[in-house]
């Protein structure tokens, strides 16, 4: 008998962080950001993107120093119950809402570019089933897929961008410094919000084996995403010019309409571009759902963990069943709860996407409200999650660290023994 993957494989490497985060941020930023920046800044949008990326990099350095001793999850556990639950609800709802918007974007993209009208239920059901399967298989299984797909997606994209350079008109890159200062600041701020997705480092830090390598992988992903956004923006400006670029819904997808591959061996060139962005957006969708499940599960499973600790104390004193039996029973119950919770949240996100489909005006209003209201709140909250202040001597801290390491080693031995028994 094999245990569910949902809880057993929650560790990822620095390379997996780098590749998965690159694909997650690349899809959503290059699809939506060019038209937003071109609307306010035009040619100066290139410098706005650079400023936004620089701000996101500074924020990432701040997170590295801020969470050097304890990660975000450890600080949440130290907070009082009411405050902790409120923060978890805010983050859970924030990630769930963003997942619903990504559902909408993917369904609209596939409907408009590939399948046509009438396929909405099939598209949403397929996306929901794939997202649920990816979440249940576990974090490591999911990131391994994107670790393999990384170069299979980036190499065709780079080839397309190189070919697209032939259609660039350099005059479209002028005049420079023509936008007003308020518009430039607005574009820089929007760019910063998109690139601040690198702050997911705060959340996946607990799943990384080495903190320094996790930071290096996140920084590398941010630089790659920023570089590709700058290149794509220059190409889109040179091909479409500012006025047309600002009114395009998905300009990077429309780029395939003007790019002619040698030999015309692809009848539907746009399908190649949609395929690349589909996998990138799906990686982002699964990531948002994963964190939504993680925060809501933290609320539901917190009391269960406290009851487990109480039962373990009784077992150690000779009252009640053995500790190992208590752990196995509790783990099975927790896995079942998480699977049910995952199904509920995936369905909720799909319902949000279905509601927004064919309601573009409402979707845009909700997206801008999230971008300027909810997302800044999600970025600010970790600063104030300091946990309870503890006045302890260094010797006490070292003793606690040693005890924690011993308990983790014992738990790992028990887990290995259970796997052998299964």
pLDDT class of 330 with cuts at 50, 70, 90: low
pLDDT score at 395? 40
Q: Which residue is listed with tokens 């209003």? A: 365
pTM metric for this prediction? 0.81
User: How far is Cα 240 from Cα 246, in angstroms, rounded to an integer?
Assistant: 9
416, pLDDT greater than 80: no
94, pLDDT greater than 60: yes
276, pLDDT greater than 50: yes
Which has the closest alpha carbon to 12: 210, 200, 196, 198? 210
Across residues 52-80, what is the average pLDDT? 87
> In this structure, is residue 68 part of a structural domain?
yes
Q: Is 99 helix (H, G, I), strand (E, B) or coil?
A: helix
pLDDT score at 223? 95
% of the chain exceeding 90 in pLDDT: 31
> In this structure, is residue 334 part of a structural domain?
yes
User: How far is Cα 15 from Cα 70, in angstroms, rounded to an integer?
Assistant: 22
Compare 306 and 109 and report the one with higher pLDDT: 109
pLDDT class of 333 with cuts at 50, 70, 90: low
User: How far is Cα 188 from Cα 37, in angstroms, rounded to an integer?
Assistant: 8
Looking at the structure of the chain, the number of domains it has is 1
| pLDDT tens-place string over residues 343-355 | 999 999 999 998 9
Which range of 46-60, 249-263, 288-302, 387-401 scores highest in mean pLDDT? It is 46-60
pLDDT class of 327 with cuts at 50, 70, 90: low
- Is residue 102 within 8 Å of residue 271, measured between CB atoms? no
* Residue 12 main-chain phi, psi, to 5 deg: -130, 155
pLDDT score at 345? 94
385, pLDDT greater than 80: no
Query: Which segment of 113-117, 147-151, 159-163, 184-188 scores lowest on mean pLDDT?
Result: 113-117
Query: What tokens appear for 375 in the block?
Result: 């997302």
| pLDDT tens-place string over residues 140-182 | 788 888 888 999 999 988 988 888 888 888 888 888 888 889 9
> In this structure, is residue 412 part of a structural domain?
no
- Is residue 272 within 8 Å of residue 156, measured between CB atoms? yes
Across residues 82-92, what is the average pLDDT? 90
User: How far is Cα 59 from Cα 198, in angstroms, rounded to an integer?
Assistant: 9
Compare 46 and 412 and report the one with higher pLDDT: 46
Compare 229 and 115 and report the one with higher pLDDT: 229
> In this structure, is residue 310 part of a structural domain?
yes
> In this structure, is residue 414 part of a structural domain?
no
pLDDT class of 9 with cuts at 50, 70, 90: low
Query: Which segment of 30-39, 217-226, 379-388 scores lowest on mean pLDDT?
Result: 379-388
Across residues 301-305, what is the average pLDDT? 55
Q: What are the DSSP calls for 179-247, one per residue?
A: S-HHHHHHHHHHHHHHHGGGGGHHHHGGGBS-HHHHHHHHHHHHHHHHHHHHHHHHHHHHHHHHHHHHT
> In this structure, is residue 416 part of a structural domain?
no
Can you name the residues that pair with 12 across neighbouring β-strands?
A: 208
> In this structure, is residue 35 part of a structural domain?
yes
316, pLDDT greater than 60: no
Domain range for 218 is 5-388
101, pLDDT greater than 80: yes
Across residues 394-421, what is the average pLDDT? 46
pLDDT score at 53? 95
Mean pLDDT (the chain, rounded): 80
222, pLDDT greater than 90: yes
> In this structure, is residue 142 part of a structural domain?
yes
Across residues 273-281, what is the average pLDDT? 87
**Helix, strand, coil proportions of the chain in percent (round to 5)?**
85, 0, 15
User: How far is Cα 419 from Cα 9, in angstroms, rounded to an integer?
Assistant: 13
Across residues 193-209, what is the average pLDDT? 87
Across residues 75-90, what is the average pLDDT? 85
User: How far is Cα 328 from Cα 339, in angstroms, rounded to an integer?
Assistant: 17
What CATH number does the domain containing 204 carry? 1.20.1740.10
pLDDT class of 264 with cuts at 50, 70, 90: low
pLDDT class of 266 with cuts at 50, 70, 90: low
pLDDT score at 97? 92
pLDDT class of 100 with cuts at 50, 70, 90: very high
């Amino acid at each position: 008998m094999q245990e569910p993957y949902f809880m057993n494989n929650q560790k990822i490497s620095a390379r997996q962080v780098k590749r998965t985060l690159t694909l997650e941020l690349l899809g959503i930023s290059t699809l939506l950001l060019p038209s937003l920046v071109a609307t306010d800044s035009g040619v100066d949008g290139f410098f706005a993107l650079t400023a936004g990326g620089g701000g996101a990099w500074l924020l990432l350095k701040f997170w590295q120093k801020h969470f050097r001793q304890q990660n975000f999850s450890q600080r949440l556990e130290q907070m009082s119950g009411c405050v902790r639950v409120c923060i978890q609800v805010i983050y859970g709802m924030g990630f769930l809402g963003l997942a619903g918007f990504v559902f909408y974007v993917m369904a609209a993209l596939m409907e408009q570019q590939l399948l046509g009208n009438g396929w909405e239920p099939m598209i949403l059901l397929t996306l929901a089933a794939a997202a649920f399967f990816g979440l249940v298989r576990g974090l490591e299984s999911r990131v391994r897929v994107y670790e393999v797909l990384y170069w299979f997606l980036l190499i065709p994209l780079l080839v397309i961008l190189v070919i697209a350079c032939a259609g660039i008109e350099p005059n479209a890159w002028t005049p420079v410094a023509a936008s007003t200062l308020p518009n430039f600041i607005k574009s820089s701020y929007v760019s910063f919000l998109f690139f601040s997705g690198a702050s997911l480092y705060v959340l996946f830090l607990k799943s990384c084996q080495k903190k320094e390598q996790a930071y290096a992988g996140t920084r590398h992903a941010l630089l790659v995403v920023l570089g590709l956004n700058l290149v794509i923006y220059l190409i889109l400006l040179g091909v479409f010019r500012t006025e047309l670029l600002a009114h395009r819904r998905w300009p990077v997808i429309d780029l395939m309409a003007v790019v002619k591959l040698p030999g015309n061996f692809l009848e539907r060139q746009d399908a190649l571009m949609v395929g690349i962005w589909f996998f990138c957006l799906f990686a982002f969708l699964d990531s948002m759902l994963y964190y939504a499940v993680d925060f809501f599960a933290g609320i539901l499973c917190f009391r269960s963990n406290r009851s487990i600790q109480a039962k373990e104390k009784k077992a150690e004193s000779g009252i009640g069943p053995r500790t190992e039996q208590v752990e196995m029973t509790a783990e099975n119950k927790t896995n079942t709860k998480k699977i049910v919770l995952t199904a509920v949240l995936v369905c909720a996100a799909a319902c949000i996407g279905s509601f927004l489909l064919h309601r573009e005006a409402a979707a845009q209003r909700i997206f801008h409200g999230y971008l300027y209201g909810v997302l800044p709140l999600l970025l600010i909250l970790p600063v104030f999650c300091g946990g309870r202040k503890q006045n302890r001597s260094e010797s006490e801290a070292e003793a606690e660290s040693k005890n924690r390491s011993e308990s983790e080693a014992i738990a790992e031995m028990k887990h290995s023994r259970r796997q052998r028994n299964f």
